[in-house]
Amino acid sequence: MVIDGPTLSRVLGTAAEGRLAALAARCSGVVVCRASPAQKAAIVRLMARHELYGEQARAPRGRGPPTRQAPEPCTRCVSGARRA
């Protein structure tokens, strides 16, 4: 799946957020392009919640898992380069 920043701005924070997480979880890979660092962090948090709660990825405000800081995506995923 490839998703860009403008599309993320329409999806993040809406009811469609959970559907995006479910769809992304079924894909073999997800590429986020032309997105702000805040959007990238939001995707990482969304997928972490999805892994914790399954289909109920969008937890009510204040009831999600405690997060002090957004998890760091792996450098291989961010750069898009694969090592042989």
pLDDT tens profile 14-47? 989 999 999 999 998 889 999 999 999 999 999 9
Nearest to 27 by CA among 1, 4, 51: 1
Q: What is the pLDDT confidence band of residue 67, given thresholds at 50, 70 and 90? A: very low
Looking at residue 75, its pLDDT comes to 55
Task: Tell which residue, 2, 70, 15, 1, has the closest CA to residue 38.
Answer: 70
Mean pLDDT of the chain: 76
pLDDT at 51 over 70: yes
